[in-house]
A and B are shown apart, each in its own frame.
Chain A
Amino acid sequence: MANLKTSEKKTKAQSMGLHTEVLTGKTQQKFFNPDEAENFYYWGTYDVDFNKRTDLDVKDLDCKEANRKIDDLMSQGYGTIVIKNPQGKHSLGVGILNKLNLIFEGSLGYFGVGSIDGPTVRINGRVGWSCAENMMAGKVVIEKNAGSCFGAAIRGGDLICKGSVGARTGIDQKGGTIIIGGDAGAFTGFMMQRGRIVILGDVGINLGDSMYDGTIYVGGKIGSFGSDAVESPMTKSDMDWLKRKLKVAEIGENFDISKMTKVVAGKKLWNYDALEPTEKKGAI
């Protein structure tokens, strides 16, 4: 495990406020120089022009070919790409680490737009299981319904489904915001660690089961609370945040936020009190 210590001389990364500690493990010393410019950008990302728009028909392409085509188009500077005929194919639009307007004219299968960092995605259809899994940043809007494991392990960004979603939405969520316009299934927020989930409709059984941290807001009925999930009073800052977020998400315009239920971790399952402050930070 790498040692952590405070550096006397600030590196470029530190002066940019990215982090304050220096990693001194052998791997870090050998392979990572925090002052090298390429470490601040993803390898293989492109300068794109959002006004440069094109269509891509993926009817006769498999997911690998379609994803390569998207990459090709970004390399040509296209900043707005409209995908035609996705027809429920799996793993479309995954691993995009670029600023991009990506529009799907139809539905996606499993693992759609997973592991993305940056694009704005609009899906004018439905998505299957594990949509936007491990998303780092960006915005994804789904016009219809979503399958189970929606937004599994996301770390950032806004993930919005205007319809209903299946079970285990936001499982292992580590950051970001998930907003659901309709209902959500069982085990929503299962083992979530950070971030927020907003459900305007009803939610199934075992809400927030074994959650470490994070917040869940529910507008409708709750099937049951999971282990260690507890209700908490809504504050003014909660309501201000919800109002702002729902406006940005273009959802729930006339929704009565004040009647929502706020659910947080009771922090009884995990031995929080016995942890040192630094361990506590690592645990969440």
Chain B
Amino acid sequence: MCGIAGLIHRGKSSNVGSELQQMLQALKHRGPDSTGYALYAENDGKNFIMRFKVGENVGEGSTSVNEDASVYDERKKLVDQMLKELGANIVKDEKLTPYSYRYEMQFDKDLMEFSKKIESINGVEILSIGKSLELIKDLGDAAAVSERYGLGDVKGTHAIGHARMATESGVDIKSAHPFWGYPFSDVSVVHNGQLTNYWNNRRVLENKGMRFMSECDSELIAVYLAEKMRNGATLEEGMKDSLTGLDGVFTYFVATKDSLGMAKDTMAAKPLVLYESDDLVAMGSEEIAIRSILPQEIDTYDPFDGEVKVWRI
């Protein structure tokens, strides 16, 4: 069934890493397989942050094929070599787990071509590229993933996250949410529901040059919106189109460097509870997610069927 949560502070930064962890931990019963964070952090905005993986987490519960860890180092070397060839200047590199990395880099060319080249290396997947987006996803619950990647102290303006119950694809990082809105920097998506016209849409979008990294139906939303924006639509326009372009049941969140949006399908089949004030918007699949950061009595509501909303920082 999956649980999704998101929050946006308007006009100020906050400890979004810790806040989103509490919200997602409250939704653990909706999805214990993997947890993902898209945090819009207080970075200086000068360099691109690229998070990528060179292999899968093959720990308990994973459906991934076990690989010799030595291939991870080989792939990392190939990525470094490719970055050099592409003219990217690595400012800082961090190894977060045996299979995932965070690079700060300077780059001023086309991100789509850049991403295609990097992902042409076998086993390498870019999780995100952005100037404020820090996209982290791995197996385990919110607390475990937060501890593994040190997310407790991340400050920022907004964030979305996902607690996944794997139903349509494997228990692995590539199928975990959030999905990056390739090839746009700082765009991420989380989804609760099932899309029934996934393969039709996927074939059409692939023919238009868009890329899919998993067989998870939710990835379609990120690619669908990215393709709309590539053709000049605003985020809100793309989201409104998705209400008819995507078939099935869904509630999804999408975030950009300065905004956070939600869309609910026309059947209103998937839950969402929303709290909105002048300085904070918080939302989640269940009210307990919001209550985990706002224990006092507050007014909340369910958005109606076919509703699209976007908030800016």
Residues in A lying within 8 Å of B, measured CB to CB: 87-90, 106-107, 109-110, 125-126, 128-129, 144-148, 163-168, 183, 185-187, 204-205
Contacts and interface: CB of A to CB of B under 8 A. Distances in A.
A147 B304 CA distance: 10
B273 interface: yes
A50 B297 CA distance: 27
Contact of B268 (A87, A146, A163, A186): A186
A128 B286 CA distance: 8
B305 A145 contact: no
Interface in B238-273: 266-269, 271, 273
Interface in B254-307: 266-269, 271, 273, 286-288, 290-291, 295, 297, 299-302, 304-306
B53 to A, nearest CB: 35
B268 A109 contact: no
Contacts of A89: 288
Given A148-B268, A167-B267, A87 B291 contact: yes
Contacts of B286: 88, 90, 109-110, 128
A107 B287 contact: yes
Nearest to A108: B287
Contacts of A204: 268, 304-305
A185 B305 contact: yes
A129 B301 contact: no
Nearest to B303: A166
Across the A-B interface, give the 4 residue pairs with the lowest CB-CB distance, nearest first.
Answer: A88-B287, A167-B268, A166-B302, A186-B305
A125 B297 contact: yes
Contacts of B306: 186
Interface of B: 266-269, 271, 273, 286-288, 290-291, 295, 297, 299-302, 304-306
Contacts, number: 73
Given A87-B295, A88-B288, A186 B304 contact: yes
Given A129-B271, A186-B266, A187-B267, A145 B287 contact: no
A229 to B, nearest CB: 17
A88 B300 CA distance: 10
Given A88-B287, A147-B271, A126 B305 contact: no
Contact of B302 (A90, A106, A109, A148): A148
B301 A88 contact: no
A31 to B, nearest CB: 37
Nearest to B29: A90
A164 B295 contact: no
A222 B123 CA distance: 53
A205 B265 CA distance: 12
Contacts of B271: 128-129, 147-148
Nearest to A107: B287
Contacts of A147: 271, 273, 302
11 contacts: A107-B287, A109-B287, A126-B301, A144-B299, A145-B300, A147-B271, A147-B302, A148-B268, A148-B302, A185-B302, A186-B305
Nearest to A182: B301
Nearest to B299: A144
